[in-house]
A and B are shown apart, each in its own frame.
Chain A
Amino acid sequence: DTEVTQTPKHLVMGMTNKKSLKCEQHMGHRAMYWYKQKAKKPPELMFVYSYEKLSINESVPSRFSPECPNSSLLNLHLHALQPEDSALYLCASSQGSGGTEGYEQYFGPGTRLTVT
């Protein structure tokens, strides 16, 4: 099973709302990622978790708060977002995140977020 699942598929939220995005993988991968992607642009890395610990935060605003409850789950908590945060949010996982192994990433289908 090489599937990464993400819920919800679509999310519309106001600037004062609090919502969460969820990502799940059952491939035994030890690294998980959050990316933000604008239309026709490459994915922009937001966070990397390695062995359930946050290892990279790409200077993401605090209105985005990641959480890794266990090795299979990754959440992204959203609060007080801005309209410019509207984008496709992609979750990915890989067997490892660095070193010499060169593991590829497996991506979920994404959550299309619209902030009104």
Chain B
Amino acid sequence: AQSVAQPEDQVNVAEGNPLTVKCTYSVSGNPYLFWYVQYPNRGLQFLLKYITGDNLVKGSYGFEAEFNKSQTSFHLKKPSALVSDSALYFCAVRDGGYQKVTFGTGTKLQVIP
């Protein structure tokens, strides 16, 4: 079985400050981890993924995420938030033995000017 948790429904951060959106996961095999962003009335856009290798993954629009196996976490980070980063962010996981991707409940990021 696989599951993913996003403990925060909403994260507020001031423009220019660093941001973190939290994600923890549970899988029985090797985890494949993804972050997606969704703007209002739009589909999801892929930001970055961890498959194997370096624990720090860099993605689109200046986002990065750190894979921590011992804490089973994959937090999304950005050094300096922009107002345009305000959106709904989904963490997702796929156990290596499965086809299905499981999405977290989403975290709304609000960047305050």
Chain A contact residues, CB within 8 Å of chain B: 4, 6, 31, 40-43, 45, 48, 50, 55-56, 58, 88, 90, 92, 97-102, 104-110, 112
Contacts and interface: CB of A to CB of B under 8 A. Distances in A.
A41 B42 contact: no
A107 B106 contact: no
A92 B101 CA distance: 12
B88 A40 contact: yes
Chain B residues touching A, range: 20 to 34
Contact of A104 (B34, B41, B42, B90): B34
A55 B43 contact: no
B103 A102 contact: no
A10 B101 CA distance: 26
A106 B51 contact: no
B49 A90 contact: no
A87 to B, nearest CB: 13
Interface string B84-113: 000010100010101111011110100000
Contacts of B106: 40-42
B103 A98 contact: no
Contacts of B90: 42-43
Contact of A109 (B42, B51, B88): B42
20 contacts: A6-B43, A31-B99, A40-B88, A41-B105, A43-B90, A45-B100, A48-B100, A50-B99, A55-B99, A98-B99, A101-B51, A102-B49, A102-B94, A104-B49, A105-B44, A105-B101, A107-B44, A107-B45, A108-B43, A110-B41
Nearest to B99: A98
Interface in B48-84: 49, 51-52
Residue of B43, B88, B94 with highest tally of chain A CB at under 10 A: B43
A74 B112 CA distance: 40
**Which of B44, B49, B106 gathers most chain A CB within 10 Å?**
B44
